Amino acid sequence: MNTHRRYCSVALLCSALAACSPQNPPAAVASSTPADTVNPIDLLHYDIQLQPDLATATVRGRVVLRLRLQADVADHLLLDSDGLAIDAARLDGEAVTTLAAGKQLQVMLPRPRQRGELLDIELRYHGKPRFGLQFPADQAQLYTIFSTQQWVPGIARPGERAGFDLRVILPGDFGAAASGELVSSENLDSGRQIFHWRQTRPIPAYVMGFVAGKFDSAQWYDDTLFFNAYSASLGQEELRRVFADSSDMLAYFARRAGVAYPYREYSQALVSETIGQELAGLALYSDAYGRRVLEQPESVGLIAHEAAHQWWGNEVTCRDWTDFWLNEGFATFMAATYLEHRFGREAYLRQVEGWRKRVDELVAAGKDKPLHFADWNQPSADDRAVVYQKGAYFLHQLREHLGEDAFWRGIALYTKKHFGTAVDSADFVAAMRAVAPAEHSGFINAAIYGPR
């Protein structure tokens, strides 16, 4: 999705895992009580300017949040802000007070405000991100990972969607890209440069982000989309080999979804260290994973997983983390079906067997849970296995129960109806009930909600 001027590609990068699903998704997915469930606001747009300091691994920034109130508010608004110190705050141009409240920020109101009002909150801040903005030790790269609220205040709940303008000041010899289209890049008198990206399609905060560094790059066009690939350790031809299946992946998922890929470009980058991370129009992996794909070309499951998220996760997004399986179980399952498409049935069944064994381990250890979590706070490795492996295994079983025609009609119905919106498990159940005989309802409900 990023214009590839000045070898600008994009965001957040993956691990050396070749499996269809990352085994250890970020522990940062921790709160099932996000800001806008406490203080109902609709965040419409972020206007961000960020200045990272690579030497100290810190950031200084300014953001203007445009929001609409969805309820009357008496005294304060609540935002997600993890470890950021607020230097100044203004509401519609008037100075206001802020109070830190754990990983949230209270913005105090000078007077009560009414439902439907549009407000602009300007915050100037600084901080040292623990996880959400990575500064590798060699200081030749930086990139965001999942926890956007660690580098800009906002709303972290996955069901909240907003557009953005993002300006980042970087060293003059860095290339950069983000989960938006490049508007401009300008040299500054200081020898640095400022990049400006814009995202007009509302997206969840955790798929906002950028990557920057000294990269080699490769670009190609497949008659419908531009593809960009970046790495500091691999050259152009190697990058083309690592991501050779990307065009086929996006075409395959578009057919299964019944909805086209929503951007003009798809960018992927390899960075020094990271887990797999999807962003809007972007995906990130580690250099070690890229080298593994060069050695074992069938180890593209993780690339397929992040590509699947461009539909299931980024566009059809769980409303809250309690239904995180709708993001990760789907991406894990869909990546395996791509391996089936690309390499044959046995490649798919190997993934299924791995899921089955992990689910059996959960049951034997007494750690099994329904896919819909009553609470998703500080999830364990077993909780993540429920979301990823059990979620994928349930979709495989449902495919076997319903048969190819009904199952894929249900997937397309669900995806097309909810594309660009937030969903919960009930939305998935409704789509499947529309194509499935009534006798399957018990199986579906038991897996998602538990025995009744």
CATH number at residue 431: 1.10.390.10
Contact 194, 168 (CB under 8 A): yes
**Alpha-carbon distance 288 to 192, whole Å?**
30
C-alpha neighbours within 13 Å on the C-beta side of residue 360: 6
Establish if 345 belongs to a structural domain: yes
Report pLDDT for 4. Answer: 37
Establish if 399 belongs to a structural domain: yes
Q: Are strands 192-204 and 84-91 parallel, antiparallel or unpaired?
A: unpaired
pTM of the entire structure?
0.90
Q: Which two tokens stand for residue 426?
A: 């009930």
Active site residues: 306, 388
Task: Provide the 10 A C-beta neighbour count for residue 60.
Answer: 16
Q: Which residue has the tokens 């010899």?
A: 173
Q: Which residues pair with 342 in a beta bridge?
A: none
**Alpha-carbon distance 205 to 207, whole Å?**
5
Total domains present in the chain: 1
Alpha-carbon torsion (398, 399, 401, 406), positive or negative: positive
Q: By residue range, what is the domain housing residue 419?
A: 321-449
Order of all β-strands in the sheet with 98-101: 76-80, 104-108, 98-101
Task: Tell whether residue 295 is among the known ligand binding residues.
Answer: no
CA dihedral in degrees (419, 260, 4, 48; nearest 10)?
Answer: -10
Contact 301, 336 (CB under 8 A): yes
Establish if 386 belongs to a structural domain: yes
Pick from 385, 373, 426: nearest CA to 33: 373
Report pLDDT for 203. Answer: 98
Establish if 4 belongs to a structural domain: no
Contact 46, 208 (CB under 8 A): yes
Task: Provide the 10 A C-beta neighbour count for residue 291.
Answer: 17
Task: Tell whether residue 309 is among the known ligand binding residues.
Answer: yes
Establish if 402 belongs to a structural domain: yes
Establish if 102 belongs to a structural domain: no
Per-residue pLDDT of the chain (452 residues; tens, 9 = 90+): 443 333 333 333 233 333 444 434 444 344 434 444 455 899 999 999 999 999 999 999 999 999 999 999 999 999 999 999 999 999 999 999 999 989 999 999 999 999 999 999 999 999 999 999 999 987 789 999 999 999 999 999 999 999 999 999 999 999 888 999 999 999 998 999 999 999 999 999 999 999 999 999 999 999 889 999 999 999 999 999 999 999 999 999 999 999 999 999 999 999 988 778 999 999 999 999 999 999 999 999 999 999 999 999 999 999 999 999 999 999 999 999 999 999 999 999 999 999 999 999 999 999 999 999 988 878 899 999 999 999 999 999 999 999 999 999 999 999 999 999 999 999 999 999 999 877 778 889 999 998 76
| DSSP type of residue 207 | G
Establish if 398 belongs to a structural domain: yes
Q: Which residues pair with 167 in a beta bridge?
A: 49, 196
Q: Which two tokens stand for residue 85?
A: 């110190």
Contact 282, 303 (CB under 8 A): no
Establish if 117 belongs to a structural domain: no
